[in-house]
Structures are given as structure tokens and as C-alpha cells.
């Protein structure tokens, strides 16, 4: 059974996740940070693409001590399983996501990844080889489901999210829209890459909830099955 996939992003009022240099920008505030921490603590795993790791060096850990304690009381690790999609095994063994906090890490690579780099990663994480040129996301989700992961949070970036949407693997999307304009045709968005040209290819959403939060608004969408 594949896990249910929930995408969570913060974007500017013009739909950008960060600057064109991929520099991290504070878009939301304390209330949204706390919401994201709760969402993460309630998931079995959290996933990012290698671009996000290289740009931001996130740890993907749960921050609130009470949330970590609650997970432990439920017999879980303090932090969800951390999953990195990295076709060519570019992640550094010193990356925060591989070293900060307890819990399992999973790195998904493609068949073109350098075998030597993959061997180094195996000392830090479980490695899934899926796909020849690019990571086969459906196969990765099958593997995660076999590991008992039932709810998966995806925090970016736009290329990974677009791939998951293209493969029809996304169930929910949370978009926090902040009160800034970043601009730039090359700035990353929620769904990067070539996009879609036919309306039959578009992902169709249902607006489940709207909440004013910090200086912006939180939109909760569910994805219509296709």
C-alpha cells in the first residue's frame, strides 16, 4: 500500500517558493511554523528533493519537544523517516538531514548514480535504487509503503512536487500564501519543470479549508482522483 501524500509549501503572493538563486526566504510566521511542525510530527515520513537539500541543508526534524515526546510515547522515533530523492547521489554524507536527530533516513537514487557515492551513503541511510535515468517516484512510494509508511509529507522543491503530481501520487496540498512578492520568471514555484499543455493533464483540486494565519492565508486542497 502506497502512503497518502500531503504536499506542504509556503509561497509568496505571486506563487514563488524562493528567489531565483534558490535562496531561502521567510514567507510565513510563528503560527505557520508551529502548524508545519505538527503536520510533520503526525506523518510517518517527510520527503524532499536533492535541490532543496543542496540549497537549504534542512534537517527535517520535529522541533517542538512536546511533539517529539508524544511520538516517543506512541513507540515512534522522535522524528519521521527522512526521505531524499537524489537521482545522481549528490547529497553530502555531512548533510544535516543525514546527521541531525535520530530515526531512519532513506535516499532514493536512479541507476545512473555513481556506485562509489551510493556505497558511502549506505553507511548513513537505506538506499533505494528505482529507475534508470531518473528516480521512479511510484516505485519509491511502493517501497516506503512496504516499510509501513502510511502518511508522507513532501516539503519540496518544485521539481519533486511536479513529478509527484505528474505521476498522480499526491492526495493533499497545503499552500501558505504570504504577504510578499518575490518575482522572477526563474524563481521556483510549487510545480516546476515543463508543466502541462492539455487541460486533461491538469491536476484538479477541491478547496477543503481556508484559514487566515500570520500575515497571510493557508489553503488546504484535496486532489481529485484522475
pLDDT digits (tens, 9 = 90+) for 103-153: 999 999 999 999 999 999 999 999 999 999 999 999 999 999 999 999 999
Q: pTM for this one?
A: 0.94
> 49 φ, ψ to 5°?
-90, 165
Question: How close are the terminal C-alpha atoms of the chain, in Å?
Answer: 18
User: What CA–CA distance (Å, rounded) separates 122 from 144?
Assistant: 17
What is the mean predicted confidence (pLDDT) over 94-99? 97
User: What CA–CA distance (Å, rounded) separates 45 from 208?
Assistant: 23
- What's the pLDDT band for 74 if we cut at 50, 70, 90? very high
- Extended strands (E) in 58-132: 81-85, 105-109, 126-129
Dihedral class, residue 73 (left if φ above 0, else alpha if ψ from -120 to 50, else beta):
alpha
DSSP 224: P
What is the mean predicted confidence (pLDDT) over 205-214? 98
pLDDT digits 0-9 by tens, 48-64: 999 999 999 999 999 99
Beta bridge partners of 6: 153, 172
In terms of DSSP bridges, do strands 105-109 and 126-129 run parallel, antiparallel, or are they unpaired? parallel
What is the mean predicted confidence (pLDDT) over 214-218? 97
Amino acid at each position: 500500500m502506497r502512503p497518502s501524500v500531503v504536499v506542504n509549501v509556503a509561497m509568496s503572493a505571486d506563487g514563488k517558493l524562493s528567489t531565483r538563486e534558490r535562496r531561502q526566504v521567510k514567507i510565513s510566521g510563528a503560527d505557520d511554523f508551529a502548524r508545519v511542525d505538527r503536520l510533520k510530527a503526525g506523518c510517518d515520513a517527510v520527503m524532499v528533493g536533492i535541490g532543496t537539500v543542496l540549497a537549504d541543508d534542512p534537517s527535517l526534524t520535529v522541533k517542538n519537544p512536546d511533539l517529539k515526546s508524544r511520538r516517543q510515547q506512541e513507540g515512534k522515533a522522535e522524528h519521521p523517516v527522512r526521505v531524499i530523492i537524489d537521482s545522481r547521489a549528490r547529497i553530502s554524507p555531512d548533510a544535516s538531514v543525514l546527521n541531525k536527530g535520530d530515526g531512519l533516513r532513506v535516499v532514493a537514487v536512479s541507476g545512473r548514480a555513481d556506485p562509489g557515492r551510493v556505497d558511502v551513503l549506505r553507511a548513513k541511510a537505506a538506499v533505494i535504487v528505482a529507475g534508470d535515468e531518473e528516480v521512479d517516484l511510484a516505485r519509491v512510494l511502493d517501497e516506503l509503503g512496504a516499510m509501513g509508511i502510511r502518511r508522507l509529507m513532501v516539503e519540496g522543491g518544485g521539481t519533486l512536487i511536479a513529478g509527484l503530481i505528474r505521476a498522480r501520487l499526491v492526495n493533499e496540498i497545503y499552500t501558505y500564501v504570504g504577504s510578499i512578492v518575490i518575482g522572477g520568471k526563474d524563481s521556483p514555484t510549487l510545480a516546476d519543470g515543463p508543466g502541462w499543455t492539455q487541460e486533461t493533464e491538469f491536476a484538479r483540486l477541491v478547496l477543503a479549508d481556508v484559514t487566515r494565519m500570520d500575515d497571510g492565508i493557508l489553503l488546504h486542497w484535496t486532489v481529485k482522483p484522475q
